[in-house]
Structure 1
Amino acid sequence: MASHLTISEVAERTGLTAHTLRYYERAGLIAPVHRAPGGQRRYAASDMEWIGFLLRLRETRMPIGQMQAFARLRGEGNATVPERRQLLEQHLADVLAMIESMQRSAGALQDKIAHYRALETRSLAAVPPPPERKPRASSLPQTSRPRPLPAGPGQTARNRR
């Protein structure tokens, strides 16, 4: 990795926008970033590691206020290690509770899906096959006997047989 990355390079590598990175710095989540002579931010490898950890906290839904408290304690040095550990232990307990809750919810969804599949299978098996199509009475020919032929010259209907 380059020794110092621009904000656009960090944005590309982390998936954060440049706007979010600047916000994180203003909010105290990221310590003020080293600047190049022209004033552009230059992120070091240690900044990238910290941003990666912040992304993990965000992914586990740590509220921004807790993230700020953790960053503030981190900035105060090793004397705050016990408080940082406690904060992370509490967050981990919250995450594990959330995972357990999500697993119960996922189980309920799986059960409901299985229930609906069973209903679909039963309803398909219970549906009788469609009856054979019989022509309707109105589509049958109206006469069952042939019509008499008209009489030819010198014949009557009786003597044609």
Structure 2
Amino acid sequence: MNIKTVSEKFAISAPTLRYYEEVGLIPPVHRNASGYREYDDIDLEWINFAKCMRETDISIDVLREYADLAQQGEQTEAHRKQILIEQQLVLKQKMQSLQDTYDFLENKIATYEQHAKQMERILRN
């Protein structure tokens, strides 16, 4: 699969895909005889993983560390798992914060609706 197709599939710009490879967030992508990148299924899994993790705001350095460890093999599984557990905790905290914000807005909206009903009653009298 070429870079344009991968870019469209994951809604990631071609320069971002190149950057992911350049900084080590994904392993080096095979190139054809003309020098163009040819993404295979494993590359697509890495891209999906990197995109997903970046959406959690994981740092480039931590994601690069994870990718480096993954390329070292099975002996790094415990360390990689710990990275994922830590990121899951960060994400859980963000989700709770978003839920708290949502609940606050929900109450604020309800207050406005109650206020509007009170004003309607006052105006009718």
Counterpart Cα distance in 2 of 1:121 and 1:101: 30
Residue equivalent to 2:116? 120
2:4 is the alignment partner of 1:15: no
What is the number of equivalent residue pairs in this alignment?
Answer: 125
Residue of structure 2 equivalent to 1:80: 76
- The residue aligned with 2:39 is 43
> Which has the greater radius of gyration?
1
2:32 partner amino acid: A
Quote the offset at 1:66 in angstroms.
1.4
In the alignment, residue 92 of structure 2 is paired with which amino acid? L
Aligned to 2:87: 91
> Aligned equivalents of 2:92 and 2:102: distance in 1?
15
Q: Which has the higher contact order (CA 8 A, sep 6+)?
A: 2
Q: d(CA) in 1 for partners of 2:99 and 2:82? A: 26
Q: TM-score, normalising length from structure 1?
A: 0.74
Shift of 1:34: 0.4
2:51 is equivalent to residue 55 of structure 1? yes
Distance 2:39 2:118 in 1: 62
Identity %: 34
What's the Cα RMSD here?
Answer: 1.1
Moved over 3 A (4+): none
1:35 and 1:72 mapped to 2: Cα distance?
21
Structure richer in helix, relative to its length = 2
- 3-state secondary structure, aligned to 1:62: coil
How far the C-alpha of 1:128 sits from its partner, in A, is: 4.2
Query: Could you tell me which of 14, 28, 35 is aligned with 1:32?
Result: 28
Q: Secondary structure at the match of 1:70?
A: helix
